[in-house]
Amino acid sequence: MLRISKLSDYAIVLLSEIAREQGGQGVTARHLAASTHIALPTVVKLLKLLKDHGVLLSIQGRNGGYRLAHRPSDTNLAVIIEAVEGPIALTECMNEELDCQIHHNCNTKAHWVHINAAFRQALSVVNLNDLTRGTMPVRVSWNGDRAPAL
Amino acid sequence: MLRISKLSDYAIVLLSEIAREQGGQGVTARHLAASTHIALPTVVKLLKLLKDHGVLLSIQGRNGGYRLAHRPSDTNLAVIIEAVEGPIALTECMNEELDCQIHHNCNTKAHWVHINAAFRQALSVVNLNDLTRGTMPVRVSWNGDRAPAL
DNA sequence: TAAAATGGGACCAATTCAGTCCTGTATTGG
DNA sequence: CCAATACAGGACTGAATTGGTCCCATTTTA
């Protein structure tokens, strides 16, 4: 598997739509549900999450709605996914220490730190601007150079 | 979340152990369970998976066990994770077309293809040799250059 | 021939995930 | 002023996935 959750996927679609439509006023959850075909309760849930994590601003009351908290170019996939799923931590041992009982001579952690960073980097290069316009954001290059031994 | 599954994590530990101990004979599941502190049934399950996907070779019968199918330097994290979790496909739309009903003007797919490739690349650079010796395998570099628009 | 090993399933429990529902608060147009 | 519209914040449920166990068959060899 190893999937981005559906919710994250939805969140990306929703934010793209907001970035696309955002005029002076905010965009309402109801409107987004209609234009993206995502069920309203799910849309509401996600928008709240994104607001709590500072990705969106909300306007309450009758003519309310949501607006991007930052410029589209500053809202990237890493931020969005972290808002919905929490911090990107590919392995258990990344987040807390937890004292991984399985294997004490575990020297894999240093590698995970790198992989984690590379992955987050790949995500953070793509922003809402890239998604609303049709631009390809990034060319990945990778040098296989070896860093000095630990 | 966005975690590598525990099983993948275990698999990496098991393979590291096999790479470390592998002499002429194969290493038994029982022995691996003891040396890694992973429950035997789980070890058995994983070794079978890894064998089915060509990562390990098995020797049946009394003095049987498992051996690496390839050199440690040829067994990398991408291969291991794919053996345990299936193909690396960060989003639903990567694997099959499935005609993603949510959003028809979806131009995110091209981005996911890139992110997916970058992630797999990051995983494939780390191999069993790196894990058994304490070498840092990779220095990640990333150029933010923009490729031409789609 | 019995013991030790893999082979191949089925199976269960627990967690996580996706999605819904309900009630409250803020704002504003009429 | 009040009703309609929108967000706020939970609780809750059903489904799917995951982690883990168990059982029995087959292979090999001391």
Residue B92 has what pLDDT? 74
**Is residue A125's pLDDT more than 70?**
yes
Surface of A (71-110) touching B: CB under 8 A: 77, 81, 85-86, 88-92, 101-103, 106-108, 110
Using alpha carbons only, how large is chain A's radius of gyration in Å? Answer: 19
Task: With a cut of 60, say whether residue A56 has pLDDT above it.
Answer: yes
Structure confidence at residue A22 (pLDDT):
73
Each residue of B90-148: pLDDT tens digit? 887 776 555 555 444 556 777 888 888 888 988 998 899 888 876 554 444 333 333 33
Spatial CA neighbour of A131 closest among B51, B146, B109: B109
Helix axes A40-52, A6-21, angle to 10 degrees: 80
Three-state SS string across B2-32, please? CCCCHHHHHHHHHHHHHHHHCCCCCECHHHH
B9/C1 CA-to-C1' distance in Å: 40
Q: Which residues have CB under 8 Å from A149's CB, separation 6+?
A: B133, B134, B135, B136
Q: What is the mean pLDDT of residues B32-42?
A: 94
Compute the distance between CA of residue A25 and CA of residue A57 in angstroms, rounded to an integer: 12
At A61-80, the pLDDT tens digits run 999 999 999 999 999 999 99
* Residue A35 CA from chain centroid, whole number: 21
pLDDT at A143 over 50: no
Give the residue whose CA sits closest to D20 at C1'. Answer: B42
A86-98 burial: b if 16+ Cβ within 10 Å, else e? eebbbbebbeeee
8 A C-beta contact, residue B68 and residue B16 = no
Cα separations in angstroms, B135 against B35, B74, B132: 22, 15, 8
Q: How far is B32 from chain A (nearest CA, A)?
A: 11
Residues β-bridged to residue B57: B67
- Residue whose Cα is closest to the C1' of D9: A48
Q: Which nucleotide is nearest to A64 (CA to C1')?
A: D6
Nearest C-alpha neighbor of A5 from the set A72, A107, A82 = A82
Please give the C-alpha separations between residue A126 and each of A27, A86, A146, B113, B142, in angstroms, as whole numbers.
23, 18, 27, 12, 13
Best CA proximity match to B126, nearest among B38, B3, B8, B5: B8
Best CATH choice for the domain A6-87+128-132 from the list 3.30.572.10, 1.10.10.10, 3.40.50.2300, 3.30.565.10: 1.10.10.10
Fold category of B6-132 in CATH? Arc Repressor Mutant, subunit A (1.10.10)
Query: Which nucleotide, over all strands, has the C1' atom closest to the CA of A52?
Result: D8
Interatomic separation, CA of residue B130 and C1' of nucleotide C23, rounded (Å): 56
The pLDDT score that the predictor gives to residue B56 is 96
Confidence check: pLDDT of A32 > 50: yes
pLDDT at A135: 58
Distance from CA of B35 to the nearest CA of A (A): 8
Contacts of A150 in chain B (CB under 8 A): 134-136
